[in-house]
Amino acid sequence: MNPLILKRRKLLRLSFLASFGMLASCGIDKSKAVLMTSKETFPKEFLAALPSAWRYEFFKSQFYGENFERFSLEDIDMLAIGDGWIHKFPFEKFKPIGAHELFSRMEGSVENFMYGLGSDFSSRVFPIGFSPWVMVFRNGEPWLNQALEGWEVLLDNRLEKQIILPNSPRLIISLASKMRDPNALTILRKQAKTYDDRNGLNWILSNKASVAVLPLQRCMKSIRKDPRLKIVLPKAGSPLNWTLLLIPKSSRQSLPVKWIKGVWDTPFLSKSLASGFIPPFAISKICKDNLNISRDFQSIVCGEESLWGKCWSLPILSDTQRILYREIWNKSAP
């Protein structure tokens, strides 16, 4: 074929792509305030309900907290992140958040969580909701009853190399600390097929593992579609995965209180619970109305109040504590 024709085609193709990119960029209203988040942080209905003066953008990398220095806070008006990343974001770069009328509605585990953040962060973050870490089984009938009682089911020797654990030594150490076996951490690590909560469902669905430890909101969609999957939130409680809002000092915006009130009330409340994202209220108050979620999911999010009292949050670690946890992790290698 004539090379001139190939060059011409390539030029036309590049021109088309450039024009498409220009059109796409023209569709973004740069005058709007920016909420920066990840795709799995909120129920999609929350983002759709943002005030007209706001727009959202997703972090380009799922490991955004590891590369905080790459992001200019001057281009961001509000961050929504999981609490596991908060230590990556210097507290002095964010505004104190008042929102006393919103905090007055909170109950449950919020007070303990905020205390664990320390004075530097507790005044600068807003906990808009949480999702408990749960066990997701594929054809897990042999273990479901034991799993309902507690996390020690993960030590069952029949599950060796059949467990997908979170990519978080801190969280795994926390789970092991709730087990009676003094060697629980070493045994639990021996049981792990891999540490990959991000792709945990894929491992389960492809029958390459029997159980994954995941935040509830990350697996609700798949549970509805696949009857082989079962969620277990143990009666002994669970670590909580919090979603936090932060306002950079460089932003002219304040916390969008009206938006938060809206997504905390019906009809968003039912949609939020159905997606595994739970507002920071007393569960009994959330569930006193006839919420439009299935009976199976009501048994998870609307269980006994005592269950949520047994759940726990992971506080921010000091440098000394971080070194200690690293030593614990290294010594527990199977």
pLDDT tens per residue across span 258-304: 999 999 988 888 888 888 898 888 666 666 654 666 666 666 766 66
Rounded to 10 degrees, the C-alpha dihedral 91/94/95/101 comes to: -80
* Domain architecture of the chain: domains with CATH: 33-131+241-295 (3.40.190.10), 133-239+317-331 (3.40.190.10)
Euclidean distance between CA atoms 245 and 81, whole angstroms: 7
Euclidean distance between CA atoms 331 and 193, whole angstroms: 19
In tens, the pLDDT along 89-143 reads 888 999 999 888 898 888 767 888 999 998 889 999 999 999 999 999 999 999 9
